[in-house]
C-alpha cells in the first residue's frame, strides 16, 4: 500500500488506512455543510476503527474560491489531483443562468468521464414528507452524466454560429419547422449507443448486486425518437445481449405477446420473476413522474438520460423529505474515478448562515465510505442520522414541517450527529 493513494487493481479499489481524498468546499452553503459533514465523517471513521484509519483530506479548488485565488474557475491542478487520487467529494458550485461560465459541476463529470450519476432515494423514519407513505419510496437513480443537452452544444439567437447552423439545417436538411428561426436559440442533444450501454450496464449490475427486482428505462422516446427512443432501444438490446440469463425485458414480453398472445406473455414474465430474473421495463418520462407519486413501490432501479435524471432526482427527493437529505455520486466504474456530491445546489440565500441541512453531503460521504469498503463507518453515520432525526433535533427545513421539533443550526446538527454516533 501506497502513500495514502487509493488505486484500482483488476477493477478492485485498494484503499490504504490513510487515504488522501481531495475535497471541494463549494460555493454558497458549501463551506457550512462541508465543515459539518466532514466533522461527522471523521468522527465516525475514528470510532469505527479506533483511530487505525483516517482520511487525509486534501483541499482542491473550484468555483468562486478558485476564481478568487487563481483567476480560474476550475484549475487544471484540481482535475489533476482528482485524477491522481481517484476519489473526491465536493460541495455545490454555482452556475449562472442564461450566460456566463458553463456548469463546473457538469465540467467535472465530463472531464473525468464520470458517466454514472448515482442517486439513491430512501426515506428516513421521522423525516417530514408531502406524501402519505414516503417509506414506499426506495429507488436508485442511474442518471447518464456525460451526454444529452448537458454536452453544452447550443448557440445563442442571432450569433454567427446560430446563423450557420440554421442555414445548414434549412438548406442541407430541409428543416422548415422552426417556428421563429431568426430568433431561436438552437441546441443539440447527443445520445449515443455507447453512452446508453455503459449506463444501463451499470444499472443492471447494481440491480443484480443489490437484489433489486426491476430496472426501469425512463425516456421520452415517443417524441425524441432517435435520442430518447434510441436510449430505450439500446438499453433493451444491451440487457438482452449481456444479461440474457438474468433479466426478462418488456421488449421480450411484447415479442411473445405478438406471436403467442397476452396470456403467454404474462406466463413468461411470471416464470421469469419466479426464477429471480430482473424485470427490465420502460416508462415514458411524463407518466413516470405521476407513477413515482401514485405507485412508487413499482420502481427500484431507474436508468435515464441526463436531463430526465436531473428532474427526477429533485422530484423524488421531495417525496422523502427534500433535497436537504438527497445524496449522490458521480462514478466511472471502469477507471475507478468517483466524485461524491449532494443533489442540491448552493442555496445562495442561506450562504454563510450556518442554517441548512448538511445531510445531503454527509450521506454522499456515506456513499463514499461504502465505496471505499468502510461499511462500519458508513453504518455509524446512517444510524446516527436516523437516531438524531427521530429525536426531532433537526435543521430548519425539517423543523418547519415537524410538530415538536427542536431547530438547530447546521453545525449544531453535526454536534448532535457526533454525539449519537
Ligand atoms: N451539483 C451542484 O453543485 C448543483 C448546483 N446547483 C447550482 O446551485 C445554484 C442555486 O440553485 P437553486 O436552483 O437555487 O437550487 P438549490 O438546490 O441550491 O436550492 C433550492 C432550495 O432547496 C432547498 N435546499 C437546498 N439545499 C438545502 C439544504 N442543504 N438544506 C435544506 N434545504 C436545502 C432550499 O429550499 P427552501 O428555499 O425551501 O428553504 C433552497 O432554497 C445554481 O447556481 C445552480 O446552478 C444546483 C443544483 C446542483
Ligand atoms: O451544475 C449545475 O449548476 C446544476 C447541476 C444539477 O442540477 C445537478 O447536478 O443535479
Ligand atoms: Mg439538479
pLDDT of residue 179 exceeding 80: yes
Question: pTM of the full predicted structure?
Answer: 0.96
* 286 classed as catalytic: yes
pLDDT of residue 3 exceeding 80: no
Ligand 2 pocket, Cβ-based, cut-off 6 angstroms: 95, 103, 105-106, 310, 313, 343, 345
Q: How confident is the model at residue 98 (pLDDT cuts 50, 70, 90)?
A: confident
Minimal-distance CA residue to ligand 1 atom 28? 324
107 lines ligand 1 (CB under 6 A): no
pLDDT of amino acid 99: 84
Can you point out the beta strands (E) in 236-348? 247-249, 278-284, 301-304, 329-331, 338-341
pLDDT of residue 6 exceeding 60: yes
Residue among 103, 310, 323 to mutate when testing ligand 1 (max atoms within 8 A of CB): 323
pLDDT of amino acid 158: 96
Helix/strand/coil (H/E/C) assignment for every residue in 197-212: HHHHHHHHHHHHHCCC
pLDDT of residue 126 exceeding 80: yes
Residue among 105, 309, 314, 342 to mutate when testing ligand 2 (max atoms within 8 A of CB): 105
Question: pLDDT tens across 238-272, in order?
Answer: 999 999 999 999 999 999 999 999 999 999 999 99
Question: pLDDT tens across 191-207, in order?
Answer: 999 999 999 999 999 99
* 397 classed as catalytic: no
ipTM computed for the complex: 0.99
Question: pLDDT tens across 273-319, in order?
Answer: 999 999 999 999 999 999 999 999 999 999 999 999 999 999 999 99
Ligand 3 centre from 157 Cα, in Å? 25
Minimal-distance CA residue to ligand 1 atom 5? 345
Catalytic residue among 27, 65, 148, 150: 150
Q: Look at residues 269, 121, 119, 277 and name the one whose alpha carbon lies nearest to residue 203.
A: 119
* 310 classed as catalytic: yes
d(CA 153, CA 305): 16
Q: How confident is the model at residue 9 (pLDDT cuts 50, 70, 90)?
A: confident
- Locate the ligand 2 atom nearest the alpha carbon of residue 117 and give its number: 9
* 85 classed as catalytic: no
- Locate the ligand 2 atom nearest the alpha carbon of residue 341 and give its number: 9
Amino acid at each position: 500500500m501506497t502513500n495514502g493513494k487509493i488505486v484500482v487493481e483488476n477493477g478492485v479499489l485498494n484503499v490504504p488506512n490513510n487515504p488522501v481524498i481531495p475535497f471541494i468546499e463549494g460555493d454558497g452553503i458549501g463551506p457550512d455543510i462541508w465543515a459539518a459533514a466532514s466533522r461527522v465523517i471523521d468522527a465516525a471513521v475514528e470510532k469505527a476503527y479506533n483511530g487505525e484509519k483516517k482520511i487525509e483530506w486534501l483541499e482542491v479548488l473550484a468555483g468562486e474560491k478558485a476564481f478568487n485565488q487563481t483567476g480560474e474557475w476550475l484549475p487544471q491542478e484540481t482535475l489533476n489531483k482528482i485524477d491522481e487520487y481517484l476519489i473526491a467529494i465536493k460541495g455545490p458550485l454555482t452556475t449562472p443562468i442564461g450566460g456566463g461560465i458553463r456548469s463546473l459541476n457538469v465540467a467535472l463529470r465530463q472531464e473525468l468521464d464520470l458517466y454514472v450519476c448515482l442517486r439513491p432515494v430512501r426515506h428516513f423514519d421521522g423525516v417530514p414528507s408531502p406524501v402519505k407513505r414516503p417509506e414506499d419510496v426506495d429507488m436508485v437513480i442511474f442518471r447518464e452524466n456525460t451526454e444529452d443537452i448537458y454536452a453544452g452544444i447550443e448557440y445563442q439567437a442571432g450569433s454567427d454560429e446560430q446563423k450557420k447552423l440554421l442555414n445548414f439545417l434549412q438548406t442541407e436538411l430541409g428543416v422548415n419547422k422552426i417556428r421563429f428561426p431568426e430568433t431561436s436559440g438552437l441546441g443539440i442533444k447527443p445520445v449515443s449507443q455507447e453512452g446508453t450501454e455503459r449506463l444501463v450496464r451499470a444499472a443492471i449490475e447494481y440491480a443484480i448486486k443489490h437484489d433489486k427486482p426491476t430496472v426501469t428505462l425512463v425516456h421520452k422516446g415517443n417524441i425524441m425518437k432517435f435520442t430518447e427512443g434510441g436510449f430505450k432501444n439500446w438499453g433493451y438490446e444491451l440487457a438482452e445481449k449481456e444479461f440474457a440469463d438474468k433479466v426478462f425485458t418488456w421488449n421480450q414480453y411484447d415479442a411473445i405477446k405478438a406471436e403467442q398472445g397476452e396470456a403467454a406473455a404474462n406466463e413468461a414474465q411470471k416464470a421469469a420473476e419466479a426464477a429471480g430474473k430482473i424485470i427490465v421495463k420502460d416508462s415514458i418520462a411524463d407518466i413516470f413522474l405521476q407513477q413515482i407519486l401514485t405507485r412508487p413501490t413499482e420502481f427500484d432501479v431507474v436508468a435515464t438520460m441526463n436531463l430526465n435524471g436531473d428532474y427526477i432526482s429533485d422530484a423524488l427527493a421531495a417525496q422523502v423529505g427534500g433535497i436537504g437529505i438527497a445524496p449522490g455520486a458521480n462514478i466511472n466504474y471502469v477507471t475507478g474515478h468517483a466524485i461524491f456530491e449532494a443533489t442540491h445546489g448552493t442555496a445562495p440565500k442561506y450562504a454563510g448562515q450556518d442554517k441548512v441541512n448538511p445531510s445531503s453531503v454527509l450521506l454522499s460521504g456515506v456513499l463514499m465510505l461504502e465505496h471505499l469498503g468502510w461499511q462500519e463507518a458508513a453504518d455509524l453515520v446512517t444510524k446516527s442520522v436516523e437516531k438524531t432525526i427521530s429525536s426531532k433535533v433537526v435543521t430548519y427545513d425539517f423543523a418547519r414541517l415537524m410538530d415538536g421539533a427542536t431547530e438547530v443550526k447546521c453545525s449544531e446538527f453535526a454536534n448532535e450527529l457526533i454525539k449519537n454516533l
